[in-house]
């Protein structure tokens, strides 16, 4: 069946390192992807998004890469800080009008000072 | 004040009891969702509603029911709670007018069934 999955459930890095979180998706009809950040004790919050007609989207210290050929997303955080510690989910929005967000397992990013 | 409010935040209940989790929103969004979060399993969709009087089953609806009392309110019920329904529950909203609109989540309800 269709699925959104993450390759690494936990990623531990040192402060200042670059972090890469990966996400695989299986529905080529998905046309919108959102990364959510969930801090401890809180609900997930929008972090960054990318449309399927883009290969790359950049924010401050954050880059999302989309490879439609292999149905793969990555979230790159440069110079990771302790405040980046959270669980990151990728959500796949499928075309067809319903736009129901479907989430992967999540990756826990732990940043050590 | 939070835009999406869930009550209660924490609840311990006994097996076989009926329990209701409530969600209200002030964002004016038409779509509302209930998700369940378990360690290692991400967020799984229980039910969703695209508008008042519209109710749809999600991936894991068995053992749950919902009610959309108004556009701003969407409640989740466990008719007869069982221990494997112990989880973190999230309500979320989105706006159908926004293409690929992001979901806005409540703070979650931690439910323990003993």
pLDDT (tens digit per residue) in B27-64 = 999 999 999 998 777 889 999 999 998 999 999 999 99
Task: Count Cβ atoms within 10 A of the Cβ of residue B45 and give its class: 0-12 exposed, 13-18 middle, 19 or more buried.
Answer: buried
- The answer to whether the CB of A86 falls within 8 A of the CB of A37 is yes
* Distance from C-alpha of B78 to C-alpha of A109, rounded to nearest angstrom: 33
> Chain A contacts of B41, Cβ < 8 Å?
105
CB contact under 8 A, A44 and B43: yes
Q: What is the model's pLDDT at position A7?
A: 43
Report the distance separating Cα B7 and Cα B110, nearest Å. 10
For residue B109, pLDDT beyond 80: yes
Q: In this predicted structure, what is the pLDDT of residue B73?
A: 97
Asked whether residue A1 carries a pLDDT value surpassing 90, the answer given is: no
**How many CB pairs below 8 A link A and B?**
57
Distances A44 to A9, A15, A89, B61 between C-alpha atoms, Å: 16, 23, 8, 21
- What is the average pLDDT across A71-80? 96
Cα angle for residues B17, B21, B26 (degrees, 5° grid): 170
Return the higher-pLDDT residue of B42 and A95. B42
* φ, ψ of residue A39 in degrees (nearest 5): -85, 160
Q: Which among B6, B42, B105 is the top mutation candidate for probing chain A, defined by the most A β-carbons within 10 Å of its own β-carbon?
A: B42
- Whether the CB of B48 is below 8 Å from some CB of chain A: the reply is yes
Interface test with A, best of B43, B55, B94, B108 (most A CBs within 10 A): B43
Residue A8 phi/psi, 5-degree rounding, is -120, 115
pLDDT band at A8 (very low <50, low <70, confident <90, very high): very low
- Reduced DSSP (H G I as helix, E B as strand, rest coil) percent helix, strand, coil of chain A, to 5: 5, 55, 40
Structure tokens at A24: 């695989």
Residue B99 has pLDDT above 80, yes or no: no
CB–CB contact B99 A32 (8 Å) = yes
Nearest to A88 by CA among A28, A35, A10, A32: A35
Q: What is the average per-residue pLDDT within B6-10?
A: 97
List CB contacts of A23: < 8 A, sequence separation 6 or more: A4, A5, A6, A7, A33, A72, A73, A74, A75, A90, A104
pLDDT averaged over chain A? 87
Phi, psi of B87 (to 5 degrees): -175, 180
Contact between residue A34 and residue B92 where contact means Cβ atoms under 8 Å apart: no
Residue B85 has pLDDT above 80, yes or no: yes
Confidence check: pLDDT of B22 > 60: yes
């Amino acid at each position: 069946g269709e699925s959104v999955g993450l390759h690494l459930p936990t990623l531990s890095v040192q402060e200042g390192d670059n972090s890469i979180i990966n996400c695989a998706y299986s529905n080529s009809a998905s046309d919108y992807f959102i990364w959510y950040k969930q801090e401890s004790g809180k609900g997930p919050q929008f972090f960054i998004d990318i449309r399927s007609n883009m290969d790359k989207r950049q924010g401050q210290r954050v880059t999302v890469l989309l490879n439609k050929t292999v149905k793969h997303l990555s979230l790159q955080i440069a110079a990771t800080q302790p405040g980046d510690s959270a669980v990151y989910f990728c959500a796949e929005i499928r075309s067809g009008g319903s736009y129901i967000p479907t989430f992967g397992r999540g990756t826990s990013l732990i940043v050590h000072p | 004040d939070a835009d999406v409010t869930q009550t209660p935040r924490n609840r311990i209940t006994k097996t076989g009891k009926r329990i209701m989790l409530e969600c209200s929103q002030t964002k004016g969004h038409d779509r509302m969702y209930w998700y369940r979060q378990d360690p290692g399993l991400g967020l799984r969709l229980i039910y969703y509603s695209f508008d008042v009087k519209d109710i749809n089953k999600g991936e894991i609806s068995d053992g749950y029911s919902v009610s959309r009392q108004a556009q701003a309110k969407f409640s989740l019920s466990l008719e007869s709670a069982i221990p494997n329904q112990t989880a973190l529950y999230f309500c979320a909203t989105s706006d159908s007018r926004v293409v690929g609109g992001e979901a806005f989540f409540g703070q979650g309800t931690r439910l323990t069934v003993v």
